[in-house]
Amino acid sequence: MKKKTLVSILTIPLVVASVSGYMYLNEPSVVSAQSDVESAALKATQGKVDYIKESFEDGSYIVRYRDRVNLTEITEEYRDNQLHNKLIVEDGGKKITSYGRDFETGKLVGNTWTMPDNIAVENEKLLQISLLENAKEELRSQDWTVLEAAGTQSRSATQSNEHKAFSEDNLHKEVVTIDVNTGLPTKRVIYQKDKNGEIVTSSTKTEEYKHLDSMPMKIQSFAPEESVEIKEIPAPVIEDKVLEGS
């Protein structure tokens, strides 16, 4: 094994930091939102799309798609194989639509709002940044140990284009897979440790990274049996500044 400094794949801030944490408002909603959900599909069919999936040991997962050409981003959270939250950023970061599942009724409800121009401009800039390239650049300060292949003869064509490396401290162990040709991450597994330094397998998180040719149409709409309600609200800002906790 040999030492080599690779790029870190640390937590990447949301493009909608201006509204993060505002995924769902448990308020009465009365307007069907299916057309709003599907409208993003018309704007994101041919763009270069970054894809990140975070999977957890309890079966829940979060997927994030960023179309850097059509300036659209969609984030979905699934629990028990059911959509729990969905956040759509479109119109170059100006229009935000947030859905969540009501804890009492189990139905999807949500809100949509338009961001002030100055915030939308900043969102637009962020939407043009590649999530994968950003991840690649964020780990330069972290040391990784490259794992050597047992033998090149048995490696497949796909495996030969990838390198694995690990990084470890008292709290975590991380194993990352890097595409040799691009230097971009393709997979990262994060293991938590207990106070004795033993890995706690139940807290393992896996992240997957890839480029897509276009935004998948299936994420633009809900299941046929889902009835979605939406309420248009003012942007959660005061004097074009984000509300505390948003």
In whole angstroms, give the CA distance from residue 64 to residue 209.
10
Whole-model pTM?
Answer: 0.74
Domain span including residue 162? 2-8+137-210
SS3 of 158-200: the string is HHHCEEEEEEECCCEEEEEEEECCCCCEEEEEEEEECCCCCEE
pLDDT value at residue 217: 78
The residue-averaged pLDDT of 133-141 equals: 75
* Mean pLDDT rounded to a whole number for the chain: 75
20 domain residue, yes or no: no
Q: What's the number of domains the chain is made of?
A: 2
18 domain residue, yes or no: no
pLDDT value at residue 191: 93
The amino acid occupying position 210 is K
In whole angstroms, give the CA distance from residue 220 to residue 35.
10
Percent residues over pLDDT 90 in the chain: 35
The number of angstroms, rounded, from the C-alpha of 57 to the middle of its chain's C-alpha atoms is 17
Statement to judge: residues 221 and 198 lie in one domain: no
Q: Are 172 and 8 in contact (CB under 8 A)?
A: no
81 domain residue, yes or no: yes
Statement to judge: residues 117 and 164 lie in one domain: no
Q: Beta-carbon neighbour count of residue 33 at 10 Å? A: 23
Q: Are 212 and 65 in contact (CB under 8 A)?
A: yes
Statement to judge: residues 149 and 205 lie in one domain: yes
196 domain residue, yes or no: yes
Statement to judge: residues 119 and 153 lie in one domain: no
Statement to judge: residues 226 and 200 lie in one domain: no
User: Torsions phi, psi of 69, nearest 5?
Assistant: -90, -50
203 domain residue, yes or no: yes
Statement to judge: residues 42 and 95 lie in one domain: yes
Statement to judge: residues 158 and 72 lie in one domain: no
Statement to judge: residues 119 and 48 lie in one domain: yes
pLDDT in tens, 25-71: 334 333 344 444 444 444 433 448 999 999 999 999 999 999 999 99
In whole angstroms, give the CA distance from residue 244 to residue 246.
6
pLDDT value at residue 224: 54
